[in-house]
Structure formats: C-alpha cells, structure tokens
Amino acid sequence: MSALRATALRSLSGRAIAPRLARAHSSRSEYFLRPLTETAPSPTYEYKFLEQPATVSVLSYPFSGGQPRAGVDKGPDHLVEAGLLKQLQSLGWHVEYSEGAVDQLLATVKSDADIGKMKQPRAVSAVTKQLAADVAAVAQGGKLPLTLGGDHSLAVGTVAGTKRKFPDAALVWVDAHADINTPLTTDSGNLHGCPVSFLLGLEGTDVAPFNEWLKPCLKPEDLVYIGLRDIDNGEKKILKDLGVKVFTMHDVDKHGIGKVMDLVLDHIGRDRPIHLSYDVDALDPTITPSTGTPVRGGLNFREGHYIAEAIAETGNLVALDVVEVNPSLGEDAASVAQTVAIGCSLSRAALGETLL
Ligand SMILES: NC(=[NH2+])NCCC[C@H](N)C(=O)O
Ligand SMILES: [Mn+2]
Ligand SMILES: [Mn+2]
C-alpha cells in the first residue's frame, strides 16, 4: 500500500471520512474533481523538475509536539479555511489535498518520556517518519508537496522525503532561528529547534527513536539560511564549524533582499532542485504575530514575499513547507487572520504568483 493511502481524507470538521463520500460531499475534495483548468492552464513558471500537469499536493500535518505551545496544530485548517487550495488552483496548479493521520500516529505512542534533553521524541519521530514517506510518494509521482504545519520539527520528515527523490536538492531555510540544535546542545529540549541537525547527522543525533528510520541526508553545503536573528550559542559554533551559508537579518539590512537572493542562488546553483522550508516567524512579529517564538527585527512584508518569488522564478522548486502558524496566539482575531493570510500569500508567491 502506498504511504499516502495511509493518510486519511478528512472532512472540514476533521472527522475521518471515506474517500467516496468525500468526493461527493467534502468541499475540499472538489479540488480533486473539478480543476478550473480553463481559467489558468499552468503556473506562471515552468517548474522543471515536476511532471505535467503541474500538481501541488497539499499535505496538512496538524502537529505541535516539537514545541510546548498548543494551537500550532490548528495552523493547517486555518490556512485551508482561508482559501489556500482555491488560490493555488487559480494560479494554474492542479491541487490535491490530504491530511496526515497525526492522531492515529500519536495513538501509537503510549508514553513519551524525555530522552536526554529531547522532549516528546517518540511523537516527533512517529509523525516525521510518516511525513517523510508521504512527501517522498508525492515527489516520486512528479508532484510538488506543500506541507502545512504544524511546528518546524516536521521538516525532519519533509526534507528526508524530498531527498529520497532528489538526493541533490538544496535546502533554503527561511527563519528567525537556525533550528540546528542537537540533542546535546539544545537548552529547551524542543525538537522544532533541532530538525536541521538530524538531517545533517550531527553528533548526538544518532539516537533512538530517530535512528531506526532516519539516515543523514543533507550536506552542509546543500543548506542556506535567510532571516536569522536568534541563534543559540551552541548553534553559532555549529554553523561556523560546518561553514554553513547564512544570511542573517544583518545581511538583509546590508545588501538588500534582492542581492541576498542573488547570493543564495549563486551559492546553491541555478539548476538544482530546491526545497524551501518557510517558518513564518522569519517575518517580523508585526507582520506574522501569531507564532510561538516571535523575534523582533524580522523580514518585512515584501522581503518575505520576495524570497518566495525569487525561488519561484528559478523554476527549481520541488517542495515547500509553511510552518509555525499558531492561530491560538496573537493579540486579537485580526492578528490571527493576518498571519494566516500571509501563510497563504507566501505559498502563492512560491508557487508563482506575480505582482503583474
Ligand atoms: N522552529 C522554531 N520556531 N524554532 C525555535 C527554536 C528556539 C530555540 N533555538 C530552541 O532551540 O528551542
Ligand atoms: Mn523560527
Ligand atoms: Mn523554524
């Protein structure tokens, strides 16, 4: 059985429903059945590593176990309710939607005591293992997986999945944080601060339960960061020792975002598949307030979108993550709506929306 068939198709209320019923009644699954290809036959750019017709497979992963704040698991539903699927369809994409069976996966985790400093390691491992299989299956099918989080620990799964189809893929990580703590360096123990170290296979990451399924799949030179401004001391040492290419907010201030993106593409090259992992806390908290670990001094609205647009323009995007939207946080309903809207607009920008 394919990995994706294991994920349940769900109704708007989150109840698991039979696919045939879903086809008849779920408004989400209409996107499978009646693509509006008359209005826009294909995306703005030719996505050269994908098969035709260009298809985005949206994977909803309502998971919060990589960090302590409730609500980030509601991010995917809010993004979908805001109209994301229809928006992507009107950009010319064929759109599929499925929801990771996170509840079922978590039900297999009976107790989840800390392992060393790691919090909820079994939950994160179980969910990311399945997500890796889902992303790999989508990529093998010639489609683009768009994973909606959920917290950033999910990227252990998404990047591992992308790398099964595209071992040469570059990883562009847009974030206030480096998320490269290891189980040895982390202060918080929150695994959303650690996914990159597991992908690289750094010292301390060869631990159960992850080492039962996850092999190092990323090289330091495959990775570029943009937007960093809150880096733990242990992470600074790792970044320097490995020589990872980092464009902090200082670099964005100094060069401007246009130059930074030129330098990003100079570094990774212009003919390689790109996995874009976008943490919405990369943007300034005035722009995306509803997120668990906001840090002042972030990307402004245009800088944030320009990054996604510049990646889209390459035609090399093969996978996208949009994570850390937490609709339970923020001052008021307007903060939440704004953060969700920007999760949608960043996704559209990466999938080829242009201003003209
Ligand atoms: N994906 C995120 N928002 N990560 C925040 C990580 C914060 C901090 N560096 C930690 O390891 O706990
Ligand atoms: Mn972050
Ligand atoms: Mn992050």
- The response to whether residue 234 sits with its C-beta less than 6 Å from ligand 1 reads no
Note the pLDDT tens digit of each residue in 280-329: 999 999 999 999 999 999 999 999 999 999 999 999 999 999 999 999 99
User: Cβ(281) to ligand 1 under 6 A?
Assistant: yes
Ligand nearest to the CA of 230: 1
Ligand closest to 173 (CA) is 3
Greater pLDDT, 38 or 228: 228
Output the pTM of the full model: 0.91
CB of 279 shorter than 6 A to ligand 1: yes
Rounded distance, CA 141 to CA 132, Å?
A: 14
Q: Which atom of ligand 1 is nearest to the CA of 189?
A: 12
The ligand minimizing its distance to the Cα of 180 is 1
ipTM of the complex: 0.98
Q: Tell me the pLDDT tens digit for each residue of 224-258.
A: 999 999 999 999 999 999 999 999 999 999 999 99
C-alpha distances (whole Å) from 62 to each of 1, 77, 124, 149 are 23, 8, 12, 6
Report yes or no: 223 and 244 within 8 Å, Cβ to Cβ: yes
Neighbours of 313 (CB within 10 A): 15
* Helix or strand run (H / E) with residue 255: helix 249-255
Is residue 291 lining ligand 1, measured as CB closer than 6 Å? no
pLDDT 10s digits, 106-158: 999 999 999 999 999 999 999 999 999 999 999 999 999 999 999 999 999 99
Catalytic residues: 152, 175, 177, 179, 192, 279, 281, 324
Cα–Cα distance, 324 to 345 (Å, whole number)? 15
Quote the strand ranges of the chain, DSSP E. Answer: 55-61, 94-99, 144-149, 170-174, 223-228, 245-248, 274-279, 317-323
Please confirm whether the linkage preceding 157 is cis (ω < 30° from 0): no
Tell the burial category of 258 from Cβ atoms under 10 Å away from its Cβ (0-12, 13-18, 19+): exposed
CA-proximal residue: ligand 1, atom 6 (nearest) = 193
Q: Is the CB of 68 under 6 A from ligand 1?
A: no
In whole angstroms, what is the distance from residue 188 CA to residue 333 CA?
29
Cα 35 to Cα 261: distance, rounded to the nearest angstrom:
33
Query: What is the pLDDT at residue 2?
Result: 36
